[in-house]
Amino acid sequence: MLNKKSINIVVSILILCTILLLMWIRPFGGNTHKSGEQVSSVAVEKIDEAKSFSLGEALRLGYEEARKHTEEEPLLIDLSSTDSSSVPQKKTDGMDGKRNSWNMTFGTKRGSIHISIEINNGLISVPQIANDNNNGLRKGMYALSDIQVDSPQVIQKAIEILGIRPGDPAISDDWIKGFHFSIAPFQTNPSKPSDTTLLLEVTGISPHSPNSKNESLRMIVYFNVKTGEIFNASEMMGYDKDGRTTWKAIDLIH
């Protein structure tokens, strides 16, 4: 079992990874490319209009699109819902586990290709594909079968157990609109930084928001992608003197 210090370290690592993921860091690190890498874009293909998808539905759509661009098996790197949408976002978005805007990346076991896919209001696009004959790109790690739970399941659990609330577009300090979902590998073992665990993450607003300084407080809940059980959870407490967010782990023992 992890001691309290180790748990705090794990929470800090998860929060840092979450913030970076929500900011949707570009996968290629500026204009630096590996030898032999070629970048191209693919035209938008219409799927449906004004359509929202669960995380699992978006993943399967992205996978089918990725298969069109590589003879190797596409493996997921990461996936996240986003507020970047062609339609206004509402407080109720994500309440049913569905969002209309998703970003995801796929790779292969060898690291020969990197595929960025976006789904926005029923449209799927592939804004960037990178190929590297030297297999130097980030490798894909996860098959669809590795993810056995979906966002409609976990959001209900997060609401019922922890009282997580959706972000309100009318409150700019909430930072997010509705609920957001993502899947990515996270470092969960402080003694072995190379070890990662694939987690499904729900981001919303803490039931204790706002605090005494009227600061909006976010909450993050991490789920085991195979069992749907809560792996970890944390809530924002406010900001320190340098303007950085402060967080605390949530006691999951009831």
Task: Convert the pLDDT of each residue in 87-117 to its tens digit.
Answer: 888 999 999 999 999 999 999 999 999 999 9
- The pLDDT, as a whole number, for residue 113 is 97
Q: What is the pLDDT of residue 24?
A: 42
Residues 48-68 pLDDT 10s: 455 899 999 999 999 999 999
220-224 long-range contacts (CB < 8 A, ≥24 apart) are: 220/14, 220/15, 220/18, 221/154, 221/158, 221/162, 221/164, 222/14, 222/186, 223/149, 223/154, 223/157, 223/199, 224/149, 224/199, 224/200
Report how far residue 112's alpha carbon sits from residue 34's, in angstroms, rounded to the nearest whole number.
11
pLDDT computed for residue 13 by the predictor: 53
What rounded mean pLDDT belongs to the chain?
Answer: 85
Could you report the per-residue pLDDT of 160-202, keeping only the tens digit for each?
Answer: 999 999 999 999 999 899 999 999 988 888 888 778 889 999 9
More confident of the two residues 32 and 165: 165
The mean per-residue pLDDT over the stretch 226-254 comes to 93
Confidence check: pLDDT of 43 > 50: no
In this predicted structure, which of 38-47, 52-61, 109-118, 212-221 has the lowest mean pLDDT?
A: 38-47
Average pLDDT over residues 9-19: 53
Rounded CA separation 100/120 (Å): 6
Extract the runs of DSSP E, i.e. beta strands, from 47-195.
Answer: 53-54, 75-81, 98-99, 101-107, 113-120, 123-131, 180-187
Helix or strand run (H / E) with residue 6: helix 4-22
Q: Classify residue 195 as exposed, middle or buried by CB count within 10 Å of its CB (0-12, 13-18, 19+).
A: exposed
Residue 229 has pLDDT above 70, yes or no: yes
